[in-house]
């Protein structure tokens, strides 16, 4: 037995012992029979954004993997907290999942109060994909390069603003960090998701938007949007001609976004692992990997232990960063 595998067995065994009381309460037979009815995937952002699109793509594969269909339910508001609180209040029986992105870890740092405890009231199950954001403008924009936009946004009073996917989202943070690094004064216009921001920048209602690459990729490739920069550390395979912010004069600039599924807290570990195994089967399927990559995502497979640590670490990291930026959304 290899050291890596041995470590995994030890961790799994410890967690099994820890969650045995909950397993007994839930019923071993219930875990074995799960699922016996459709599973709800709550999306805490509107229809049309990257998180919603990803949830629907994954949901389409639920019948084959789980033997039951997935029902997508959009519950929006309060930077995603409405949907998250709804799932946190549900029974930990596996029939209600929450699809979230990194804004889940950013919110505690930018909001004065939270309607639930993001470290305790929900349990991360799997990180399914990473995706960067892109800075996009309409084709008739006067800004043809990031340097054009930066120059226009230098004065304390200017007409440059950016639409984001909402207060406390990675896109909001991406714009705030750009302002800090470039010493610009770009005004933030928060939307209720990437979908609404995308619609307004496509219609030239806003001069610029920072949205997920998965939301914008089709429009960039068709020429309906111009991408000035991508927020990841390196260029992506999906948009190889779009330069990073870092390579345009701002070394070290990087912000990526994870997308994952969470469940109500206190779910027995055997049930967590059964759900994870089914989701892993979905994400690792060759056709799904190809689909995710074509949409601008980098597939990921982090399990409850690894993903849980990632979420908790990000909550602390983003809280420190938002405090440094003086970023508050309420």
- CATH 3.40.190.150-classified regions of the chain: 3-130+258-325
pLDDT at 108 over 70: yes
- CATH 3.40.190.10-classified regions of the chain: 132-248
List, for residues 60-91, the tens digit of each pLDDT value.
Answer: 999 999 999 999 999 998 888 999 999 999 99
List, for residues 150-169, the tens digit of each pLDDT value.
Answer: 999 999 999 999 999 888 78
Among candidates 14, 8, 232, which has minimal Cα distance to 130?
232
What span, in angstroms and rounded, lies between the C-alpha atoms of 165 and 128?
20
pLDDT at 23 over 50: no
The whole-number average pLDDT for the span 85-113 is 94
pLDDT at 211 over 90: yes
What span, in angstroms and rounded, lies between the C-alpha atoms of 183 and 95?
47
pLDDT at 2 over 80: no
pLDDT at 22 over 70: no
- Element holding 212 (H helix, E strand): strand 209-212
Alpha-carbon radius of gyration of the chain: 20
* Mean model confidence pLDDT for the chain: 89
CATH of 132-248, one of 3.40.190.10, 3.40.30.10, 3.40.50.720, 1.25.40.10: 3.40.190.10
Among candidates 257, 187, 255, 248, which has minimal Cα distance to 215?
257
Q: Contact, 119 vs 202, CB < 8 A? A: no
What span, in angstroms and rounded, lies between the C-alpha atoms of 104 and 88?
13
pLDDT for res 142: 96
What span, in angstroms and rounded, lies between the C-alpha atoms of 264 and 98?
9
SS3 of 201, please? Answer: helix
What span, in angstroms and rounded, lies between the C-alpha atoms of 230 and 148?
16
User: In terms of CATH architecture, what is 3-130+258-325?
Assistant: 3-Layer(aba) Sandwich (3.40)
Among candidates 41, 146, 148, which has minimal Cα distance to 87?
41
pTM, 2 dp: 0.77
pLDDT for res 28: 67
């Amino acid at each position: 037995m290899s050291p890596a595998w041995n470590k995994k067995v030890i961790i799994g065994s410890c967690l099994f012992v820890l969650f045995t009381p909950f397993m007994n309460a839930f019923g071993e037979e219930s875990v074995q029979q799960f699922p016996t009815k459709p599973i709800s995937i709550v999306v805490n952002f509107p229809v049309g954004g990257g998180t919603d699109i990803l949830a629907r793509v994954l949901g389409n594969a639920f019948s084959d993997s789980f033997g039951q269909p997935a029902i997508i339910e959009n519950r929006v508001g309060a930077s995603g907290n409405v949907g998250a609180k709804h799932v946190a209040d549900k029974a930990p029986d596996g029939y209600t999942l929450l699809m979230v992105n990194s804004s889940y870890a950013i919110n505690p740092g930018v909001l004065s109060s939270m309607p639930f405890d993001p470290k305790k009231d929900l349990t991360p199950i799997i990180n399914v994909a990473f995706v960067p954001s892109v800075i996009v403008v309409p084709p008739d924009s006067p800004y043809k390069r990031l340097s054009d936009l930066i120059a226009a946004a230098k004065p304390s009073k200017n007409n440059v603003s950016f639409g984001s996917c909402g207060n406390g989202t990675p896109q909001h943070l991406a714009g705030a960090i750009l302002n800090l690094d470039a010493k610009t004064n770009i005004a933030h216009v928060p939307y209720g998701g990437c979908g609404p921001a995308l619609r307004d920048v496509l219609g030239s209602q806003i001069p610029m938007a920072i949205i997920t690459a998965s939301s914008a990729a089709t429009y960039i490739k068709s020429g309906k949007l111009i991408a000035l920069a991508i927020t990841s550390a390196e260029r992506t395979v999906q948009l190889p001609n779009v330069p990073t912010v870092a390579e345009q004069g701002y070394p070290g600039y990087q912000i990526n976004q994870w997308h994952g599924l969470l469940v109500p807290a206190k779910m027995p570990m055997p049930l967590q692992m059964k759900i994870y195994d089914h989701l892993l089967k979905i994400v690792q399927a060759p056709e799904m990997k190809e689909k995710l990559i074509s949409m601008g995502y980098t597939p990921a497979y982090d399990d409850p232990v690894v993903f849980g640590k990632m979420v908790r670490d990000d909550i602390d990291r983003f809280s420190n960063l938002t405090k440094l930026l003086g970023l508050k959304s309420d």
